[in-house]
Amino acid sequence: FQVGLLVSVKRFFLFLFEIRVKPDKSGVVTDGVKHSMNPFCEIAVEEAVKLKEKKLIKEVVAVSCGPQQAQETIRTALAMGADRGIHVQVAGKDYENLGPLQVSKIMAALAKKEEAQLVILGKQAIDDDCNQTGQMTAALLDWPQGTFASEVSFEGDKLKVVREIDGGLETITINTPAVVTADLRLNTPRYATLPNIMKAKKKKIAIMKPEDLGVDITSRVEVLRVDEPPQREAGVKVETVQDLVGKLKDSGLV
Amino acid sequence: ILVPSTNSDKISVKTYLHILVKKQTEHAVPQLYTALQRRACSSLSVPRITTHYTIHSRDKDPRWEGIEMERFADEADVVIVGGGPAGLSAAIRLKQLANEHEKELRVCLVEKASQIGAHTLSGACLEPSALNELFPDWKERGAPLNTEVTEDVFSILTEKHRIPVPMLPGLPMQNHGNYIVRLGNFVRWLGEQAEELGVELYPGYAASEVLFHEDGSVKGIATNDVGIAKDGSPKDVFERGMELHAKVTLFGEGCHGHLAKQLYKQFNLRENCEPQTYAIGLKELWMIDEKKWRPGRVEHSVGWPLNRNTYGGSFLYHLNEGEPLVALGFVIGLDYSNPYLSPFREFQRWKHHPFVAPTLEGGNRIAYGARALNEGGFQSIPKLTFPGGLLIGCSPGFMNVPKIKGTHTAMKSGMLAAEAIFPQVVAEELDSETAGLHIPEYAENLKNSWVWKELRAVRNIRPSFHNYFGLYGGMVYTGIFYWILRGKEPWTLKHCGTDADQLKPAKDCTPIDYPKPDGKISFDLLSSVALSGTNHEGDQPAHLTLRDDGVPVARNLGIYDGPEQRFCPAGVYEYVPLETGDGMRLQINAQNCVHCKTCDIKDPSQNINWVVPEGGGGPAYNGM
């Protein structure tokens, strides 16, 4: 069963770095901060490469939308085993306003263009935690979706997906072509080792603009302000229940 | 002998006996007997702490049977270990020469930080001498030297007051013509210049092993293996590191590099020089109230809170990059003798001094970090070249101690190395007795350069502090012999031996009563470590390896009251009570490590061996 597969990768701050809000409250400070691939996207790439190694997939194409540095993220995906990359150039103010709707339009256009049979994404990005891109892509393509996947396998020409849901695990069978989003327990991503990074330099990354795909990336959302979370106030210990009731009354809660 | 298993490091009796048998075949029986005795006596059990393969070899380890250990190998002309000022300057100079002479040259640079500049930490006041030679057009190229020094202030602090010291021209601390830089940003810029010139940069890959030809010369390096679990066994994602072979390998690991440590032994490079002495430098970046901001102002102090026999002092630099940012920090010589001294807490309490605190009031701390630095100077420079490689930068140690500047000399050493090796690596016929090139011309060139003259002139200043009057004696000596006589005195003072030997037993010293951090100007250790952004893959063997797991409790805690709990600026070492029974054990929180190397330097038992963790781990400094 030989299909082509698109995997989408996004880059943001390393997950444990201290974030600072910009003085003008328009966003967070990004200058010089260490960036790396979104952890869920790493899991998606790993799954794609695993499927290729099992010979269920013919080719893995890694896609990223963003400025020049997005190519580093694509190179990491290539070092993990993707065959080629596509960099959709979006820079500056456009990049700051790029949201799930625009990315899913781009992914849908690319999926049609590349005649992909499977699109895998991370379930959400750690900067905005939107958890929307995969679902929107499926809707735009009118394809079935298997989201929060913790296990993916082929059954004939259908896809069996075990999903992590609030109540436990749900197993569904969906037709291909389909969209899958990766959850934490899907796999453990491999390291991008140095020899693979060196080989990845020779793999091709095609560069294109959203206009080339006929996609309009104007945003429907405007960020008004970004604030730090309020400082946590120290708690107060009281000796007796009467004290507690008194304090509750004082603060107008009772 | 049964080792009761602890909660974190369970090893089966079978494995322990296996290791015991292995030790038996390696060591003479009497040694085994004493080891068993020691184990039986000291705190009843020695929980297994170290699992790293450099201490417990994988050759006979049953868990490693059948694992593919072949490494992929690649050839370059020159391999450089370390992406700091020295390594990058060498790489850049090599490519500049290659372009000038229209030769092909493959230069590969490996760096353990995940991006170039992420492990760089320094004050820093940069003397642009070496940069002017490397890139005369650095301004047009956008080098981040944005803050010219406008004011230079030097003080001797007492607990409540300050004695100003005039900054006369000619004194080593004078900074006219220098720039206050965020060295991490400068190194990142150097990295960009290097990439433009065609240097292959590989951040996130640590050089963990030196490779040798059959004739004993250096063949290159191997990067670290990945995917080893905390207990030392291979994980599913285990992958061997890669070998990079080169005609000549440059080692620019910075102060107290771990590969350099091996090379000193292997090639006997330290037989004719004094042991290196060190200091630890801790640094913070603060965003201060605009009203307090005086861009271009450089402040240095000595004295309080250190006593006159502990070398050290502070720095506070006002940067001028569009926002009210100051870089401040504290340096303490690691030859201090009181095991109760905590460099971190000295730094925190210094900030409360009436001369310093007002600058910080109303401000916000945004970064923290620490690194060891060299203080040995001229007397401690080892032999610099050996078959197949050479040492550059702070690794052998070219820091001008009274100026507290080492970046310009590190860069120059890198450039001189490049100039010395270039003709030989591009030569049609390799003219060498050994498979790896030996380039003694590098050491010759260095001896004839301004680096040597500069270091020679200041060689006696640091050792002059070893007298009864300590700091004051040293200042008097500097005034007479450096300022007036320019270091031309015919004698060379010696250091006092290694830093590790300087600690006095805890019973002979008094604990220091440090004030509690107030959370506004001074802070506790753990919140500071969080600001360094340091992280390591949790499931890997601790890279702070112990040669003997029993020594910390028996010796470090027993005699010196566990000084590693105090000198580590990241809270890696903790003595915690055993879960069962009496006694303590050493807990190593390897994930906190900021790669400062102080423990490897100051451990009185010299039992701690810092090795490189999986590449990409470590602090995430941003323009420190």
Choose among A32, A188, A193: nearest Cβ to B185.
A32
Backbone angles phi and psi of B96, in degrees to 5: -60, -45
| pLDDT tens-digit series, residues B476-494 | 887 777 777 777 888 888 8
Is the confidence at residue A169, as pLDDT, over 80?
A: yes
Using the Cβ of A19 and the Cβ atoms of chain B, whether some distance falls under 8 Å is answered with: no
**Of A163-177, A200-214, A226-240, which range is least confident?**
A226-240
Q: Is the pLDDT of residue A135 over 90?
A: yes
- Average pLDDT on B279-292 reads 94
Lowest mean pLDDT among B265-274, B279-288, B481-490, B578-587: B481-490
Please tell me which residue in B89, B120, B277, B407 is annotated as part of the active site: B407
**pLDDT mean over B352-374:** 94
3-state secondary structure of B41: helix
- B531 CB within 8 Å of a chain A CB: yes
With 0-12 / 13-18 / 19 or more C-beta atoms within 10 angstroms meaning exposed / middle / buried, residue A177 is: buried
Whether ipTM tops 0.85, in short, is: no
**Is-contact B394 B373, C-beta < 8 A?**
yes
**In degrees to the nearest 10, what's the CA dihedral of B581, B582, B588, B589?**
70
pLDDT tens profile B187-228: 999 999 999 999 999 999 999 999 999 999 999 999 999 999
Q: How far apart are CA A167 and CA A164, in angstroms?
A: 8
d(CA B465, CA A101): 67
Whether B622 and A36 lie within 8 Å, measured CB to CB: no
Partnered with residue B111 across adjacent β-strands are B203
- Residue B21: pLDDT over 70: no
B584's CB contacts (< 8 A; 6+ apart) are B43, B553, B557, B575, B576, B577, B578
What is the tens place of the pLDDT at every residue in B117-136? 999 999 899 999 999 999 99
pLDDT at B31: 42
pLDDT on residue B46:
67
When scoring B224, B226, B290, B540 by the number of chain A Cβ atoms within 10 A, the one with the most, hence best to mutate, is B226
The confidence score (pLDDT) of residue B43 equals 42
Q: Which residues of A touch B110 (CB under 8 A)?
A: 194
pLDDT in tens, A182-232: 999 999 999 888 889 888 988 999 999 999 989 988 888 888 888 888 878
B531 interaction partners in chain A (CB closer than 8 Å): 18
CB contact under 8 A, B114 and A34: yes
Distance (Å, whole) CA A164 – CA A172: 11
Among the listed residues A32, A48, A31, A30, the one whose alpha carbon sits nearest the alpha carbon of residue A40 = A48
Question: Model's pTM, two decimal places?
Answer: 0.86
Tell me the H-state helices in B335-492: 343-350, 357-360, 407-425, 441-447, 450-457, 471-477
Task: Name the pairing type of β-strands A35-37 and A11-13.
Answer: antiparallel
Residue A186 near residue A43 (C-beta atoms within 8 A): yes
B623: chain A residues, CB-CB within 8 Å: 32
Average pLDDT over residues A32-54: 88
Please identify which of the residues B371, B462, B566, B585 carries the catalytic annotation. Answer: B371
Predicted local distance difference test score (pLDDT) of residue A220: 85
Token code pair at residue B149: 């020094």
If DSSP codes are grouped into helix, strand and coil, which group holds residue B457? helix
- Regarding predicted confidence, which is higher, B340 or A6? B340
Using the beta-carbon criterion (under 8 Å), do A198 and B74 form an inter-chain contact? yes
**Least trusted range by pLDDT, from A13-22, A96-105, B24-33, B297-306:** B24-33
Nearest to B237 among A23, A33, A191 (CB): A191
pLDDT digits (tens, 9 = 90+) for A19-40: 777 777 777 777 767 778 888 9
A128-134: average pLDDT: 90
CA B568 to chain centroid, in Å, comes to 13
Per DSSP, chain B holds a count of helices (H) and strands (E) of 17, 26
pLDDT at B9 over 50: no
Nearest to B377 by CA among B357, B398, B402: B398
Contacting residues of B for A33, CB less than 8 Å apart: 622
| Partners of B202 in the β-ladder | B110
Q: How many residues in chain B?
A: 624
CA neighbours closer than 13 Å in the CB half-sphere of residue A202: 4
8 Å CB contact between B289 and B430: no
Chain A hits for B185, CB-CB cut-off 8 Å, are 32
Instruction: Round to whole Å and give the CA distance between B320 and B300.
Output: 18
Tell me the mean pLDDT in the region B65-91.
94
Indicate the average pLDDT of chain B.
88
Q: Are B87 and B250 in contact (CB under 8 A)?
A: yes
Q: How does DSSP classify residue B615?
A: T
Cα A179 to the center of its chain, rounded Å: 13
> Is B371 designated active site?
yes
Is position B208 annotated as part of the catalytic site? no
Residues near B611 by Cβ (< 8 Å), separated by ≥ 6? B52, B54, B208, B258, B543, B545
Residue B590 has pLDDT above 50, yes or no: yes
Helix (H, G, I), strand (E, B) or coil at B91: helix
pLDDT value of position B34? 42
User: Given an 8 Å threshold on Cβ–Cβ distance, is A194 in contact with B118?
Assistant: no
Option in A18, A189, A198 nearest B533 (CB)? A18
- Nearest alpha-carbon partner for B107 in B417, B328, B355, B314: B417
The pLDDT, as a whole number, for residue A16 is 57
Q: What is the mean pLDDT of residues A158-169?
A: 94
Label residue B526 by pLDDT band (50, 70, 90). very high
What are the structure tokens assigned to B490, written together?
A: 């015919």
Task: Identify the band that residue A3 occupies on the pLDDT scale cut at 50, 70 and 90.
Answer: low
8-state DSSP, B173: T
- Torsion angle, alpha carbons of A247, A249, A253, A254, to 10: 130
Using a CB–CB cutoff of 8 Å, tell me whether B530 touches chain A. yes
Other Cβ atoms closer than 10 A to A253: 7
pLDDT digits (tens, 9 = 90+) for B167-182: 877 777 788 889 999 9
Residue B151, beta-bridge partner list: B297
More confident residue, A34 or B529: B529
User: Average pLDDT for residues A95-99, to the nearest whole number?
Assistant: 84
Are the C-beta atoms of residues B106 and B276 closer than 8 Å to each other?
no
Q: How far apart are CA B329 and CA B314, in angstroms?
A: 6
Distances (CA, A) of A98 to A93, A101, A103, B54: 9, 8, 7, 48
Q: Which of A23, A34, A191 sits opposite B226 (nearest CB)?
A: A191
Cβ A18–B531 below 8 Å, yes or no? yes
Which pLDDT belongs to residue B169?
78
Dist CA B315 CA B41 (whole Å)? 47
HEC readout, chain A: CCEEEEEECCEEECCCCCCCECCCCCCECCCCCCEEECHHHHHHHHHHHHHHHCCCEEEEEEEEEECCCHHHHHHHHHHHCCCEEEEEECCHHHHHCCCHHHHHHHHHHHHHHHCCCEEEEECCCCCCCCCCHHHHHHHHHCCCEEEEEEEEEEECCEEEEEEEECCEEEEEEEECCEEEEECHHHCCCCCCCHHHHHHHCCCCEEEECHHHHCCCCCCCCCCCCCCCCCCCCCCCCCCCHHHHHHHHHHCCCC
pLDDT, tens digit (0-9, with 9 covering 90-100), for B425-477: 888 777 777 888 899 999 999 999 999 999 998 888 888 888 777 788 888 88
B605 pairs with which residues across the strands? none
Residue B318 falls in which region: left (phi positive, over 0), alpha (psi -120 to 50) or beta:
beta
pLDDT digits (tens, 9 = 90+) for B47-71: 688 999 998 888 888 888 888 889 9
| pLDDT over 90 percentage in chain A | 44
**What pLDDT, on the 0 to 100 scale, is given for residue A14?**
64
pLDDT for B109 beyond 50:
yes
pLDDT at B325: 94
Our answer to whether residue B108 is catalytic in this structure is no
* Cis peptide upstream of residue B305 (ω within 30 degrees of 0): yes
What is the rounded average pLDDT of the residues A86-114?
89
Give the pLDDT of residue A61.
92
Give the 3-state DSSP-derived string for B203-237, with helices as H, strands as E and coil as C: ECCCEEEEEECCCCCEEEEEECCEEECCCCCEEEE
Peptide bond between residue A177 and the one before it cis (omega within 30 degrees of 0): yes
Q: Which residues pair with A206 in a beta bridge?
A: A86
The secondary element (H helix, E strand) that includes residue B126 is strand B125-126
CA distance B409 to B415: 10
Could you tell me the two tokens for B294? 């005086």
